Chain A
Amino acid sequence: MHRNIGFIFCLTVTIALMAMILLPLVVVVLGSCINASLLGLSTDLWSGSLHDILDFSAFGYIFENYGDWALFSLELAIACVAICLLIAVPAGYALARYPFPGSGLVEELVLLPFSLPGITLSMGLLATYGELRGPLLVLAGHLLYTIPFMLKVVTATLRSFDVGQLETAARSLGASFPQRLFLVVLPNLRHAMMVGSLLVFAVSWGEFNVSFLLNRGRPQTFPAVLYDTYTNQSIQISSAATTIFLAIVIPAVIAIQWFGGRESVEVEQGA
Protein backbone atom coordinates (compact mmCIF):
# COMPACT_ATOMS: atom_id res chain seq x y z
CA MET A 1 0.00 0.00 0.00
CA HIS A 2 0.94 3.60 -0.64
CA ARG A 3 3.21 4.96 2.12
CA ASN A 4 1.97 8.35 3.29
CA ILE A 5 2.01 10.72 6.26
CA GLY A 6 -0.53 8.58 8.06
CA PHE A 7 1.72 5.54 7.82
CA ILE A 8 4.74 7.43 9.11
CA PHE A 9 2.78 8.94 11.97
CA CYS A 10 1.35 5.57 13.06
CA LEU A 11 4.76 3.92 12.72
CA THR A 12 6.39 6.60 14.86
CA VAL A 13 3.83 6.22 17.65
CA THR A 14 4.11 2.43 17.49
CA ILE A 15 7.89 2.51 17.68
CA ALA A 16 7.70 4.87 20.65
CA LEU A 17 5.32 2.47 22.41
CA MET A 18 7.61 -0.47 21.63
CA ALA A 19 10.56 1.42 23.08
CA MET A 20 8.53 2.21 26.18
CA ILE A 21 7.71 -1.47 26.64
CA LEU A 22 11.13 -2.89 25.82
CA LEU A 23 13.53 -0.44 27.47
CA PRO A 24 12.69 -1.26 31.11
CA LEU A 25 12.60 -4.99 30.32
CA VAL A 26 16.08 -4.84 28.80
CA VAL A 27 17.43 -2.86 31.77
CA VAL A 28 15.92 -5.36 34.22
CA VAL A 29 17.24 -8.42 32.39
CA LEU A 30 20.72 -6.90 32.09
CA GLY A 31 20.57 -5.61 35.65
CA SER A 32 19.91 -9.10 36.99
CA CYS A 33 23.29 -10.43 35.84
CA ILE A 34 25.60 -7.55 34.84
CA ASN A 35 27.56 -5.35 37.20
CA ALA A 36 25.29 -2.36 37.87
CA SER A 37 28.04 0.21 37.44
CA LEU A 38 28.53 -0.90 33.83
CA LEU A 39 24.93 0.09 33.14
CA GLY A 40 25.59 3.52 34.57
CA LEU A 41 23.43 2.85 37.60
CA SER A 42 24.42 3.83 41.10
CA THR A 43 25.84 0.78 42.82
CA ASP A 44 24.68 1.42 46.37
CA LEU A 45 21.23 -0.01 45.67
CA TRP A 46 22.55 -3.06 43.88
CA SER A 47 24.06 -6.00 45.69
CA GLY A 48 26.48 -8.50 44.18
CA SER A 49 30.16 -8.43 43.51
CA LEU A 50 31.49 -5.25 41.93
CA HIS A 51 34.52 -6.95 40.41
CA ASP A 52 32.91 -9.45 38.09
CA ILE A 53 31.26 -8.30 34.91
CA LEU A 54 28.76 -11.13 34.95
CA ASP A 55 27.24 -12.20 38.21
CA PHE A 56 24.49 -14.80 38.35
CA SER A 57 24.42 -15.15 42.13
CA ALA A 58 21.01 -13.46 42.34
CA PHE A 59 19.45 -16.30 40.32
CA GLY A 60 20.95 -18.84 42.68
CA TYR A 61 19.48 -16.93 45.60
CA ILE A 62 16.01 -16.95 44.04
CA PHE A 63 16.10 -20.67 43.22
CA GLU A 64 17.34 -21.53 46.67
CA ASN A 65 14.85 -19.43 48.60
CA TYR A 66 11.83 -19.31 46.35
CA GLY A 67 12.18 -22.44 44.20
CA ASP A 68 9.16 -24.12 45.80
CA TRP A 69 7.10 -20.95 45.25
CA ALA A 70 7.87 -21.01 41.53
CA LEU A 71 6.98 -24.70 41.40
CA PHE A 72 3.69 -24.08 43.23
CA SER A 73 2.83 -21.33 40.75
CA LEU A 74 3.56 -23.59 37.78
CA GLU A 75 1.48 -26.41 39.27
CA LEU A 76 -1.37 -23.99 39.87
CA ALA A 77 -1.24 -22.71 36.28
CA ILE A 78 -1.22 -26.27 34.90
CA ALA A 79 -4.11 -27.28 37.17
CA CYS A 80 -6.03 -24.25 35.89
CA VAL A 81 -5.42 -25.31 32.29
CA ALA A 82 -6.61 -28.87 32.99
CA ILE A 83 -9.75 -27.80 34.87
CA CYS A 84 -10.58 -25.13 32.30
CA LEU A 85 -10.38 -27.73 29.54
CA LEU A 86 -12.62 -30.09 31.51
CA ILE A 87 -15.22 -27.49 32.52
CA ALA A 88 -15.20 -24.73 29.93
CA VAL A 89 -14.91 -26.75 26.71
CA PRO A 90 -18.08 -28.86 27.27
CA ALA A 91 -19.93 -25.81 28.57
CA GLY A 92 -18.79 -23.72 25.61
CA TYR A 93 -19.94 -26.48 23.26
CA ALA A 94 -23.36 -26.59 24.93
CA LEU A 95 -23.75 -22.80 24.97
CA ALA A 96 -22.77 -22.38 21.32
CA ARG A 97 -24.50 -25.46 19.94
CA TYR A 98 -27.64 -25.91 22.06
CA PRO A 99 -28.64 -22.51 23.48
CA PHE A 100 -31.24 -23.01 26.19
CA PRO A 101 -33.40 -20.50 28.10
CA GLY A 102 -30.99 -18.54 30.26
CA SER A 103 -27.84 -19.50 28.37
CA GLY A 104 -27.25 -15.85 27.51
CA LEU A 105 -27.28 -15.05 31.21
CA VAL A 106 -24.77 -17.83 31.90
CA GLU A 107 -22.41 -16.33 29.32
CA GLU A 108 -22.75 -12.85 30.84
CA LEU A 109 -22.03 -14.34 34.25
CA VAL A 110 -18.90 -16.15 33.02
CA LEU A 111 -17.59 -12.92 31.51
CA LEU A 112 -18.35 -10.90 34.66
CA PRO A 113 -14.81 -11.36 36.09
CA PHE A 114 -13.49 -9.31 33.13
CA SER A 115 -14.90 -6.23 34.83
CA LEU A 116 -14.63 -7.52 38.38
CA PRO A 117 -11.65 -6.09 40.31
CA GLY A 118 -9.57 -8.91 41.81
CA ILE A 119 -9.69 -7.30 45.21
CA THR A 120 -13.51 -7.33 45.25
CA LEU A 121 -13.66 -11.03 44.42
CA SER A 122 -11.01 -11.78 47.04
CA MET A 123 -12.93 -9.91 49.72
CA GLY A 124 -16.08 -11.81 48.78
CA LEU A 125 -14.36 -15.19 48.85
CA LEU A 126 -12.69 -14.39 52.17
CA ALA A 127 -15.96 -13.25 53.69
CA THR A 128 -17.66 -16.49 52.62
CA TYR A 129 -14.95 -19.15 52.79
CA GLY A 130 -12.49 -17.51 55.20
CA GLU A 131 -11.64 -20.79 56.91
CA LEU A 132 -10.71 -22.42 53.59
CA ARG A 133 -8.02 -19.79 52.97
CA GLY A 134 -5.15 -21.56 51.21
CA PRO A 135 -4.18 -23.17 47.90
CA LEU A 136 -7.69 -24.46 47.12
CA LEU A 137 -9.29 -21.05 47.47
CA VAL A 138 -6.51 -19.58 45.31
CA LEU A 139 -7.32 -22.19 42.66
CA ALA A 140 -11.00 -21.21 42.77
CA GLY A 141 -10.08 -17.54 42.33
CA HIS A 142 -7.75 -18.33 39.42
CA LEU A 143 -10.44 -20.44 37.74
CA LEU A 144 -12.93 -17.59 37.82
CA TYR A 145 -10.41 -15.37 36.04
CA THR A 146 -9.20 -17.97 33.51
CA ILE A 147 -12.43 -19.75 32.51
CA PRO A 148 -13.78 -16.70 30.61
CA PHE A 149 -10.74 -16.84 28.30
CA MET A 150 -11.17 -20.52 27.48
CA LEU A 151 -14.94 -20.23 27.08
CA LYS A 152 -14.65 -17.23 24.79
CA VAL A 153 -12.11 -18.88 22.48
CA VAL A 154 -14.18 -22.08 22.29
CA THR A 155 -17.54 -20.40 21.67
CA ALA A 156 -16.00 -17.97 19.14
CA THR A 157 -14.54 -20.90 17.16
CA LEU A 158 -17.75 -22.92 17.34
CA ARG A 159 -19.78 -19.95 16.12
CA SER A 160 -17.37 -19.04 13.33
CA PHE A 161 -18.07 -22.22 11.35
CA ASP A 162 -21.10 -24.44 11.29
CA VAL A 163 -20.38 -27.38 13.54
CA GLY A 164 -24.07 -28.19 13.41
CA GLN A 165 -23.94 -28.98 9.70
CA LEU A 166 -20.75 -31.01 10.06
CA GLU A 167 -22.28 -32.97 12.91
CA THR A 168 -25.52 -33.57 11.03
CA ALA A 169 -23.55 -34.72 8.01
CA ALA A 170 -21.56 -37.10 10.20
CA ARG A 171 -24.73 -38.40 11.82
CA SER A 172 -26.43 -38.98 8.46
CA LEU A 173 -23.39 -41.02 7.48
CA GLY A 174 -24.02 -43.17 10.54
CA ALA A 175 -21.55 -41.77 13.07
CA SER A 176 -22.44 -42.39 16.70
CA PHE A 177 -22.22 -39.66 19.34
CA PRO A 178 -18.70 -40.60 20.57
CA GLN A 179 -17.54 -40.79 16.95
CA ARG A 180 -18.97 -37.36 16.21
CA LEU A 181 -17.43 -35.97 19.37
CA PHE A 182 -13.94 -37.34 18.86
CA LEU A 183 -13.74 -37.25 15.06
CA VAL A 184 -15.71 -34.09 14.20
CA VAL A 185 -16.11 -31.67 17.11
CA LEU A 186 -12.88 -32.00 19.07
CA PRO A 187 -10.48 -31.95 16.07
CA ASN A 188 -12.10 -28.69 14.97
CA LEU A 189 -11.62 -27.30 18.47
CA ARG A 190 -7.97 -28.37 18.81
CA HIS A 191 -6.64 -25.00 17.75
CA ALA A 192 -9.01 -23.08 20.03
CA MET A 193 -8.13 -25.31 22.99
CA MET A 194 -4.42 -24.74 22.33
CA VAL A 195 -4.77 -20.94 22.29
CA GLY A 196 -7.14 -21.07 25.27
CA SER A 197 -4.73 -23.20 27.30
CA LEU A 198 -1.85 -20.81 26.62
CA LEU A 199 -3.98 -17.83 27.63
CA VAL A 200 -5.13 -19.58 30.79
CA PHE A 201 -1.55 -20.52 31.66
CA ALA A 202 -0.23 -16.97 31.12
CA VAL A 203 -3.06 -15.35 33.07
CA SER A 204 -2.73 -17.74 35.98
CA TRP A 205 1.07 -17.35 36.11
CA GLY A 206 0.79 -13.55 36.20
CA GLU A 207 -2.09 -13.24 38.66
CA PHE A 208 -1.22 -11.44 41.89
CA ASN A 209 -4.15 -9.80 43.73
CA VAL A 210 -6.33 -12.86 44.19
CA SER A 211 -3.49 -15.27 44.96
CA PHE A 212 -1.85 -12.94 47.46
CA LEU A 213 -4.99 -12.27 49.48
CA LEU A 214 -6.44 -15.78 49.40
CA ASN A 215 -3.28 -17.68 50.25
CA ARG A 216 -1.84 -18.32 53.65
CA GLY A 217 1.73 -19.19 54.61
CA ARG A 218 4.20 -20.74 52.23
CA PRO A 219 4.43 -21.44 49.36
CA GLN A 220 2.89 -18.44 47.65
CA THR A 221 2.54 -17.89 43.90
CA PHE A 222 5.44 -16.49 41.91
CA PRO A 223 4.13 -12.91 41.62
CA ALA A 224 4.16 -12.94 45.43
CA VAL A 225 7.90 -13.72 45.19
CA LEU A 226 8.23 -10.57 43.13
CA TYR A 227 6.34 -8.57 45.74
CA ASP A 228 8.51 -10.06 48.47
CA THR A 229 11.76 -9.20 46.69
CA TYR A 230 10.58 -5.72 45.67
CA THR A 231 9.82 -4.83 49.27
CA ASN A 232 12.67 -6.63 51.05
CA GLN A 233 15.58 -7.31 48.72
CA SER A 234 18.17 -5.50 46.64
CA ILE A 235 17.39 -4.38 43.13
CA GLN A 236 19.62 -7.06 41.63
CA ILE A 237 17.69 -9.87 43.33
CA SER A 238 14.38 -8.22 42.38
CA SER A 239 15.61 -7.99 38.79
CA ALA A 240 16.57 -11.66 38.78
CA ALA A 241 13.10 -12.63 40.05
CA THR A 242 11.49 -10.43 37.39
CA THR A 243 13.70 -12.00 34.72
CA ILE A 244 12.56 -15.49 35.75
CA PHE A 245 8.95 -14.29 35.62
CA LEU A 246 9.50 -12.91 32.12
CA ALA A 247 11.24 -16.09 30.98
CA ILE A 248 7.98 -17.97 31.54
CA VAL A 249 5.44 -15.40 30.44
CA ILE A 250 7.11 -14.10 27.27
CA PRO A 251 7.30 -17.50 25.48
CA ALA A 252 3.63 -18.05 26.37
CA VAL A 253 2.60 -14.69 24.91
CA ILE A 254 4.70 -15.31 21.78
CA ALA A 255 3.08 -18.73 21.36
CA ILE A 256 -0.37 -17.15 21.68
CA GLN A 257 0.59 -14.72 18.91
CA TRP A 258 2.01 -17.54 16.83
CA PHE A 259 -1.01 -19.88 17.11
CA GLY A 260 -3.71 -17.34 17.64
CA GLY A 261 -3.24 -14.73 14.97
CA ARG A 262 -6.43 -12.85 14.40
CA GLU A 263 -8.88 -15.26 16.02
CA SER A 264 -7.60 -14.59 19.50
CA VAL A 265 -7.74 -10.83 19.07
CA GLU A 266 -11.21 -10.46 20.45
CA VAL A 267 -10.57 -12.72 23.36
CA GLU A 268 -7.54 -11.08 24.88
CA GLN A 269 -9.22 -8.15 26.48
CA GLY A 270 -9.86 -9.41 29.99
CA ALA A 271 -8.06 -8.33 33.11
Chain B
Amino acid sequence: MLTHDFTINASSIFSVRERRQLVPLLLCAPLLLLLLAFLVWPLAHLFQQSLLLTDTPAAGITLRNYLEIASVPRYRHALLWSLELSLAVAACSTLICLAPAWLFTRYQFRGKLVMRGILTLPMTFAGMIVGFLMVILLGRTGFIPQMFERLTGTPFLSGIGYQFPGLILDYLYFEIPRATLTLESALCKLDSRLEQAARSLGANRWHVFRLVVLPAIWPALISTFAVTFSVSLGSFGVLLVLSIRRFTLLPLEIFTQYIAPPTDQGIAAAMSLTLLTVAFLTGYGLRRVTRRMGITHA
Protein backbone atom coordinates (compact mmCIF):
# COMPACT_ATOMS: atom_id res chain seq x y z
CA MET B 1 0.00 0.00 0.00
CA LEU B 2 2.77 2.38 1.00
CA THR B 3 4.93 1.65 -2.04
CA HIS B 4 1.91 2.08 -4.25
CA ASP B 5 1.31 5.59 -2.86
CA PHE B 6 4.94 6.41 -3.33
CA THR B 7 5.01 5.46 -6.99
CA ILE B 8 1.95 7.57 -7.70
CA ASN B 9 3.57 10.55 -6.04
CA ALA B 10 6.84 10.07 -7.89
CA SER B 11 5.14 9.78 -11.25
CA SER B 12 2.99 12.84 -10.65
CA ILE B 13 6.04 14.89 -9.65
CA PHE B 14 7.81 13.67 -12.75
CA SER B 15 4.90 14.59 -14.97
CA VAL B 16 4.67 18.08 -13.49
CA ARG B 17 8.34 18.68 -14.20
CA GLU B 18 7.95 17.22 -17.66
CA ARG B 19 4.92 19.37 -18.34
CA ARG B 20 6.83 22.43 -17.22
CA GLN B 21 9.43 21.71 -19.91
CA LEU B 22 6.96 20.63 -22.52
CA VAL B 23 4.22 23.27 -22.34
CA PRO B 24 6.41 26.31 -23.11
CA LEU B 25 8.04 24.44 -25.97
CA LEU B 26 4.64 23.50 -27.36
CA LEU B 27 3.47 27.10 -27.08
CA CYS B 28 6.60 28.27 -28.92
CA ALA B 29 6.54 25.50 -31.52
CA PRO B 30 4.56 27.31 -34.27
CA LEU B 31 6.79 30.37 -33.90
CA LEU B 32 9.94 28.26 -34.00
CA LEU B 33 8.79 26.38 -37.08
CA LEU B 34 7.98 29.64 -38.85
CA LEU B 35 11.37 31.13 -37.96
CA LEU B 36 13.27 28.04 -39.03
CA ALA B 37 11.40 27.62 -42.30
CA PHE B 38 11.21 31.24 -43.41
CA LEU B 39 14.14 32.96 -41.72
CA VAL B 40 17.00 30.64 -40.78
CA TRP B 41 16.81 28.23 -43.69
CA PRO B 42 16.44 30.89 -46.43
CA LEU B 43 19.34 32.91 -45.01
CA ALA B 44 21.50 29.77 -44.87
CA HIS B 45 20.50 29.00 -48.45
CA LEU B 46 21.34 32.55 -49.50
CA PHE B 47 24.75 32.20 -47.87
CA GLN B 48 25.41 29.02 -49.80
CA GLN B 49 24.33 30.72 -53.03
CA SER B 50 26.66 33.65 -52.40
CA LEU B 51 29.62 31.24 -52.23
CA LEU B 52 28.88 29.61 -55.60
CA LEU B 53 29.49 31.12 -59.03
CA THR B 54 26.26 31.52 -61.00
CA ASP B 55 27.76 30.34 -64.30
CA THR B 56 29.74 27.40 -62.94
CA PRO B 57 28.20 26.19 -59.69
CA ALA B 58 30.24 23.00 -59.95
CA ALA B 59 33.45 25.01 -59.47
CA GLY B 60 32.88 24.78 -55.75
CA ILE B 61 32.95 27.22 -52.88
CA THR B 62 34.66 30.52 -53.60
CA LEU B 63 34.68 34.08 -52.34
CA ARG B 64 34.76 35.42 -55.91
CA ASN B 65 31.32 37.06 -55.58
CA TYR B 66 32.34 39.05 -52.53
CA LEU B 67 35.61 40.06 -54.19
CA GLU B 68 33.64 41.27 -57.18
CA ILE B 69 31.63 43.65 -54.98
CA ALA B 70 34.91 45.13 -53.81
CA SER B 71 36.50 45.30 -57.24
CA VAL B 72 33.68 46.37 -59.63
CA PRO B 73 33.51 50.19 -59.25
CA ARG B 74 29.71 50.32 -59.52
CA TYR B 75 29.16 47.88 -56.67
CA ARG B 76 31.94 49.34 -54.56
CA HIS B 77 30.50 52.83 -54.92
CA ALA B 78 27.03 51.54 -54.10
CA LEU B 79 28.34 50.02 -50.88
CA LEU B 80 30.31 53.13 -49.93
CA TRP B 81 27.41 55.45 -50.74
CA SER B 82 25.08 53.28 -48.68
CA LEU B 83 27.42 53.43 -45.71
CA GLU B 84 27.97 57.18 -46.10
CA LEU B 85 24.29 58.00 -46.42
CA SER B 86 23.25 55.74 -43.53
CA LEU B 87 25.94 57.15 -41.25
CA ALA B 88 24.94 60.73 -42.06
CA VAL B 89 21.23 59.99 -41.63
CA ALA B 90 21.74 58.11 -38.36
CA ALA B 91 23.91 60.89 -36.92
CA CYS B 92 21.50 63.65 -38.02
CA SER B 93 18.35 61.94 -36.81
CA THR B 94 19.86 61.00 -33.44
CA LEU B 95 20.99 64.58 -32.82
CA ILE B 96 17.92 66.37 -34.15
CA CYS B 97 15.36 64.11 -32.47
CA LEU B 98 16.96 64.70 -29.11
CA ALA B 99 15.04 68.00 -29.10
CA PRO B 100 11.49 66.58 -29.41
CA ALA B 101 12.33 63.66 -27.12
CA TRP B 102 13.58 66.09 -24.47
CA LEU B 103 10.52 68.31 -24.97
CA PHE B 104 8.08 65.39 -24.54
CA THR B 105 9.73 63.94 -21.44
CA ARG B 106 10.68 67.10 -19.53
CA TYR B 107 7.87 69.57 -20.09
CA GLN B 108 4.12 69.49 -19.58
CA PHE B 109 2.13 71.63 -21.98
CA ARG B 110 -1.07 71.61 -23.97
CA GLY B 111 -1.05 69.86 -27.31
CA LYS B 112 1.82 67.52 -26.44
CA LEU B 113 -0.07 64.39 -27.48
CA VAL B 114 -0.98 65.91 -30.83
CA MET B 115 2.62 66.93 -31.50
CA ARG B 116 3.82 63.48 -30.54
CA GLY B 117 1.22 61.92 -32.79
CA ILE B 118 2.32 64.02 -35.75
CA LEU B 119 5.97 63.09 -35.28
CA THR B 120 5.12 59.38 -35.28
CA LEU B 121 3.01 59.53 -38.46
CA PRO B 122 5.73 58.46 -40.94
CA MET B 123 6.56 55.35 -38.93
CA THR B 124 5.24 52.87 -41.45
CA PHE B 125 5.75 54.90 -44.63
CA ALA B 126 7.74 52.97 -47.21
CA GLY B 127 10.75 54.91 -48.50
CA MET B 128 9.09 55.16 -51.89
CA ILE B 129 6.24 57.28 -50.47
CA VAL B 130 8.75 59.67 -48.92
CA GLY B 131 10.43 59.90 -52.31
CA PHE B 132 7.14 60.93 -53.89
CA LEU B 133 6.40 63.45 -51.14
CA MET B 134 9.77 65.05 -51.79
CA VAL B 135 9.14 65.20 -55.54
CA ILE B 136 5.91 67.06 -54.78
CA LEU B 137 7.55 69.39 -52.30
CA LEU B 138 11.09 69.96 -53.59
CA GLY B 139 11.17 68.48 -57.09
CA ARG B 140 11.90 70.53 -60.21
CA THR B 141 8.28 71.74 -60.33
CA GLY B 142 7.61 71.09 -56.69
CA PHE B 143 5.51 73.15 -54.32
CA ILE B 144 8.28 75.09 -52.54
CA PRO B 145 10.35 76.05 -55.63
CA GLN B 146 7.16 77.18 -57.41
CA MET B 147 6.09 79.24 -54.42
CA PHE B 148 9.49 80.90 -54.34
CA GLU B 149 9.32 81.53 -58.07
CA ARG B 150 6.02 83.35 -57.61
CA LEU B 151 7.27 85.40 -54.72
CA THR B 152 10.82 86.21 -55.77
CA GLY B 153 11.10 85.23 -59.42
CA THR B 154 13.73 82.52 -58.94
CA PRO B 155 12.87 78.87 -58.23
CA PHE B 156 14.73 78.65 -54.94
CA LEU B 157 15.68 75.16 -53.68
CA SER B 158 14.63 73.61 -56.98
CA GLY B 159 15.97 70.10 -57.44
CA ILE B 160 17.58 69.93 -54.00
CA GLY B 161 15.64 66.72 -53.47
CA TYR B 162 17.86 65.11 -56.12
CA GLN B 163 21.13 65.86 -54.34
CA PHE B 164 22.86 64.32 -51.34
CA PRO B 165 21.51 66.83 -48.75
CA GLY B 166 18.03 66.27 -50.15
CA LEU B 167 18.45 62.51 -49.76
CA ILE B 168 19.47 62.95 -46.13
CA LEU B 169 16.33 65.03 -45.63
CA ASP B 170 14.19 62.30 -47.23
CA TYR B 171 15.66 59.61 -45.00
CA LEU B 172 15.30 61.85 -41.98
CA TYR B 173 11.58 62.01 -42.75
CA PHE B 174 10.95 58.37 -41.92
CA GLU B 175 13.63 58.13 -39.22
CA ILE B 176 12.05 60.89 -37.08
CA PRO B 177 9.46 58.58 -35.41
CA ARG B 178 11.98 55.82 -34.69
CA ALA B 179 14.65 58.16 -33.32
CA THR B 180 12.19 60.20 -31.24
CA LEU B 181 10.49 57.19 -29.67
CA THR B 182 13.73 55.36 -28.89
CA LEU B 183 15.25 58.46 -27.29
CA GLU B 184 12.05 59.26 -25.42
CA SER B 185 11.91 55.85 -23.76
CA ALA B 186 15.48 56.36 -22.53
CA LEU B 187 15.00 59.95 -21.38
CA CYS B 188 11.91 59.20 -19.33
CA LYS B 189 13.99 56.81 -17.22
CA LEU B 190 16.46 59.62 -16.46
CA ASP B 191 15.94 61.18 -13.03
CA SER B 192 15.52 64.94 -13.44
CA ARG B 193 16.52 65.48 -9.80
CA LEU B 194 20.13 64.75 -10.83
CA GLU B 195 20.09 67.81 -13.06
CA GLN B 196 18.43 69.92 -10.40
CA ALA B 197 21.10 68.85 -7.92
CA ALA B 198 23.87 69.77 -10.35
CA ARG B 199 22.20 73.11 -11.05
CA SER B 200 21.87 73.87 -7.37
CA LEU B 201 25.58 73.10 -6.94
CA GLY B 202 26.32 75.89 -9.40
CA ALA B 203 26.79 74.10 -12.73
CA ASN B 204 25.57 76.02 -15.75
CA ARG B 205 23.21 74.51 -18.33
CA TRP B 206 25.98 73.37 -20.65
CA HIS B 207 27.88 71.71 -17.83
CA VAL B 208 24.74 69.96 -16.64
CA PHE B 209 24.14 68.66 -20.13
CA ARG B 210 27.74 67.58 -20.73
CA LEU B 211 28.54 66.11 -17.32
CA VAL B 212 25.19 64.81 -16.06
CA VAL B 213 22.76 64.26 -18.92
CA LEU B 214 25.12 63.15 -21.67
CA PRO B 215 26.82 60.31 -19.73
CA ALA B 216 23.41 59.04 -18.68
CA ILE B 217 21.82 59.08 -22.13
CA TRP B 218 24.93 57.95 -24.02
CA PRO B 219 23.69 54.33 -24.34
CA ALA B 220 20.35 55.61 -25.66
CA LEU B 221 22.11 57.75 -28.25
CA ILE B 222 24.10 54.72 -29.40
CA SER B 223 21.08 52.46 -29.68
CA THR B 224 19.12 55.16 -31.53
CA PHE B 225 22.06 55.49 -33.90
CA ALA B 226 22.05 51.72 -34.43
CA VAL B 227 18.32 51.52 -35.12
CA THR B 228 18.28 54.41 -37.58
CA PHE B 229 21.48 53.18 -39.25
CA SER B 230 20.20 49.71 -39.99
CA VAL B 231 16.83 50.99 -41.22
CA SER B 232 18.51 53.48 -43.57
CA LEU B 233 20.91 50.86 -44.84
CA GLY B 234 18.14 48.61 -46.10
CA SER B 235 15.96 51.35 -47.57
CA PHE B 236 16.07 52.23 -51.25
CA GLY B 237 12.51 53.30 -52.08
CA VAL B 238 13.40 56.99 -52.12
CA LEU B 239 15.97 56.43 -54.85
CA LEU B 240 13.65 54.08 -56.72
CA VAL B 241 11.18 56.95 -57.19
CA LEU B 242 13.68 59.77 -57.67
CA SER B 243 15.80 57.63 -60.08
CA ILE B 244 18.97 59.68 -59.87
CA ARG B 245 21.33 58.28 -62.49
CA ARG B 246 24.69 59.19 -60.99
CA PHE B 247 23.86 57.79 -57.59
CA THR B 248 23.11 54.27 -56.43
CA LEU B 249 22.80 52.33 -53.21
CA LEU B 250 23.57 48.70 -52.44
CA PRO B 251 19.92 47.62 -51.83
CA LEU B 252 18.94 49.35 -55.08
CA GLU B 253 21.67 47.41 -56.91
CA ILE B 254 20.24 44.16 -55.56
CA PHE B 255 16.75 45.22 -56.61
CA THR B 256 17.81 46.08 -60.16
CA GLN B 257 19.90 42.89 -60.34
CA TYR B 258 16.75 40.97 -59.60
CA ILE B 259 14.34 42.94 -61.78
CA ALA B 260 16.58 43.21 -64.86
CA PRO B 261 16.64 39.88 -66.74
CA PRO B 262 20.31 38.77 -66.81
CA THR B 263 20.38 38.15 -63.08
CA ASP B 264 23.64 37.13 -61.48
CA GLN B 265 22.23 35.32 -58.46
CA GLY B 266 25.60 34.77 -56.84
CA ILE B 267 26.43 38.49 -56.86
CA ALA B 268 22.92 39.44 -55.70
CA ALA B 269 23.19 36.94 -52.83
CA ALA B 270 26.64 38.21 -51.87
CA MET B 271 25.39 41.83 -51.90
CA SER B 272 22.35 40.88 -49.80
CA LEU B 273 24.53 39.20 -47.23
CA THR B 274 27.00 42.09 -47.16
CA LEU B 275 24.06 44.37 -46.40
CA LEU B 276 22.76 42.05 -43.70
CA THR B 277 26.19 41.64 -42.12
CA VAL B 278 26.79 45.39 -41.91
CA ALA B 279 23.28 46.11 -40.61
CA PHE B 280 23.29 43.26 -38.13
CA LEU B 281 26.79 43.79 -36.81
CA THR B 282 26.15 47.49 -36.28
CA GLY B 283 22.78 46.95 -34.65
CA TYR B 284 23.75 43.96 -32.58
CA GLY B 285 27.24 45.15 -31.70
CA LEU B 286 26.08 48.58 -30.59
CA ARG B 287 23.19 47.07 -28.63
CA ARG B 288 25.69 44.84 -26.82
CA VAL B 289 27.89 47.83 -26.04
CA THR B 290 24.98 49.84 -24.66
CA ARG B 291 23.82 46.89 -22.57
CA ARG B 292 27.26 46.63 -21.01
CA MET B 293 27.37 50.39 -20.47
CA GLY B 294 23.89 50.29 -18.99
CA ILE B 295 25.06 47.76 -16.42
CA THR B 296 28.09 49.80 -15.41
CA HIS B 297 25.91 52.88 -15.07
CA ALA B 298 23.21 51.26 -12.98
Chain A residues engaging chain B, CB cutoff 8 angstroms? 1, 3, 5-7, 9-11, 13-14, 17-18, 20-25, 27-28, 31, 39-42, 45, 86-88, 90-91, 93-95, 97-100, 103, 106, 109-110, 112-121, 123-129, 140-141, 143-144, 147, 151, 202-203, 205-209, 213, 223, 226-227, 230-231, 235, 238-239, 242, 245, 249-250, 252-254, 256-257, 262, 265-266, 268-269, 271
Q: Is B219 in contact with chain A by the CB < 8 A criterion?
A: no
9 pairs, A vs B, C-beta closer than 8 Å: A1-B106, A7-B107, A41-B146, A100-B21, A121-B43, A126-B258, A227-B241, A242-B129, A253-B120
| 8 residue pairs, one from A and one from B, having the closest CB atoms | A117-B234, A124-B42, A206-B124, A13-B99, A115-B283, A94-B24, A24-B133, A208-B126
Chain B residues engaging chain A, CB cutoff 8 angstroms? 20-21, 23-25, 27-28, 30-32, 34-35, 37-43, 45-46, 49, 96-97, 99-100, 102-103, 106-108, 113, 115-129, 131-134, 136-137, 141, 143, 146-147, 150, 169, 172-173, 176-178, 181-182, 184-185, 188, 205, 226-227, 230-231, 233-237, 240-241, 251, 254-255, 258, 265, 268-269, 272-273, 275-276, 279-280, 282-284
Question: Would A98 and B24 count as touching, CB distance under 8 A?
Answer: yes
List the B residue with the shortest CB-CB distance to A91. B31
Given contacts A18-B118, A213-B258, A235-B136, is CB(A41)–CB(B143) below 8 Å?
yes
A269: chain B residues within 8 A (beta carbon): 178, 181-182, 227
Given contacts A91-B30, A269-B182, A269-B227, is CB(A123)–CB(B46) below 8 Å?
yes
Question: Would B28 and A106 count as touching, CB distance under 8 A?
Answer: yes
A121: chain B residues within 8 A (beta carbon): 39, 42-43
A207: chain B residues within 8 A (beta carbon): 126
User: In the complex, what distance in Å separates the CA atom of A221 from the CA atom of B289?
Assistant: 39
Question: Would A206 and B125 count as touching, CB distance under 8 A?
Answer: yes
- Checking A6, A28, A110, A271 against B231 with a beta-carbon cut-off of 8 angstroms, the contacting residue is A271
